[in-house]
Amino acid sequence: MSHPDQDPPPFDLVRPLGPGHESSRALALLQRRRLPVALGDQAQAAAHYRPSTDLLTAINMAIHVGAPLLLTGEPGTGKTVAAAFIARFFGIPLFPFQVKSTSTADDIKYDFDAVGYLHWAQSDKDKDKDKNDPPRTRRDFLQKRALWEAYDCPTEAVVLIDEIDKAPRDFPNDLLHELDQHRFQHPFDDTEIVSPKTGHPPIVVVTSNDERRLPDAFLRRCIFHRIDLDKDLVKAAVEAHVRDFPHLDPDARAAAQRRFWDLRESPLDKRPSTAELLVWLCILSAQGVTAETLNTKPLAELPGIGALVKDPEDLKVLK
């Protein structure tokens, strides 16, 4: 293993313990490793994002009519990064909301700390209270979330509603008023309406992995675009992230993409996506894998196959 003062090796940081092993030296190498810049960082990924002409058309359509842009497609095709791309292009903030199986329409607007409020309401409010502090109310336990934050933003903004198909069935329909009228009632004041301070609705991007069909009433309000995983999309993604694969020459990158498509065409239950391909290329680069190795290995024995195939039954199929 290299000395800590030297550049760390791209791979094999962890080896079986042997004579002369020094944890401090190994730790120094671990701390100096260089993670891929764009992978896992939406803001960085947006700088390398290459949307198709059709996607750009859909984005412009949604912006011009003020409708939500609904992006569907397989996981890993760049739907989420599209929202970051729009925010970066215009230099405006992005307010993301990650949908969960328990999400409600109110969650995208605000969060109320009911437990904290209950404890405060039952406590000795005068104890340890500074006389100069203003009196507390329920509003002090209200925290604004993505849509409200975008409405309060002094500039244009982007709201991302990520993976809406994970939400309960009523979630999309419960958002119809906000997405259509661009305002909502304040939760504690019947006379106060929350609406965009700029006078323009935020750009709303909604993503779905097609795990279930969305309600027709919701679909009618959206501009729809499906991002299909094709060879042009994959090639553009690889070229955009080429700096993350410094030890892969063009022949090796081309060979890796051919084997990726071989896997995609195999009878697998879980086929790898663009995101997994980019991770795999980083691993191949770190290992210094050549085009010859990639061209001659059976699919099940490809280097770093665990980055692409995640299902034990799929591995059996390949073998």
Q: Which residues, at least 6 apart from 6, have a Cβ–Cβ distance to it below 8 Å?
A: none
Q: Which residues, at least 6 apart from 189, have a Cβ–Cβ distance to it below 8 Å?
A: none
Res 113: pLDDT = 75
Residue given tokens 């290329």 in the structure block: 281
Res 264: pLDDT = 94
Classified as helix, coil or strand, 249 is coil
Indicate the pTM of the whole model.
Answer: 0.81
Q: Which residues, at least 6 apart from 194, have a Cβ–Cβ distance to it below 8 Å?
A: 109, 148, 151, 183, 184, 185, 186
Residue given tokens 């569907």 in the structure block: 72
Q: Do 274 and 76 meet the contact criterion of CB atoms below 8 Å apart?
A: yes
pLDDT average per 10 residues of sequence, the chain (319 residues):
43 76 84 74 80 95 96 90 95 96 93 78 61 66 93 96 93 90 89 92 95 92 94 89 90 97 94 92 92 95 95 92
Res 311: pLDDT = 92
Res 133: pLDDT = 58
Please work out, in degrees rounded to the nearest 5, the angle formed at the alpha carbon of residue 109 by the alpha carbons of 108 and 115: 95
Res 131: pLDDT = 56
Residue given tokens 């409405």 in the structure block: 151
Res 73: pLDDT = 92
Res 29: pLDDT = 80
Res 125: pLDDT = 57
The whole-angstrom distance between residue 267's C-alpha and the CA centroid of its chain comes to: 27
Q: Which residues, at least 6 apart from 272, have a Cβ–Cβ distance to it below 8 Å?
A: 76, 260, 263, 264, 280, 308, 309
Spatial distance between the Cα atoms of 19 and 1, rounded to a whole number of angstroms: 12
Q: Do 8 and 29 meet the contact criterion of CB atoms below 8 Å apart?
A: yes
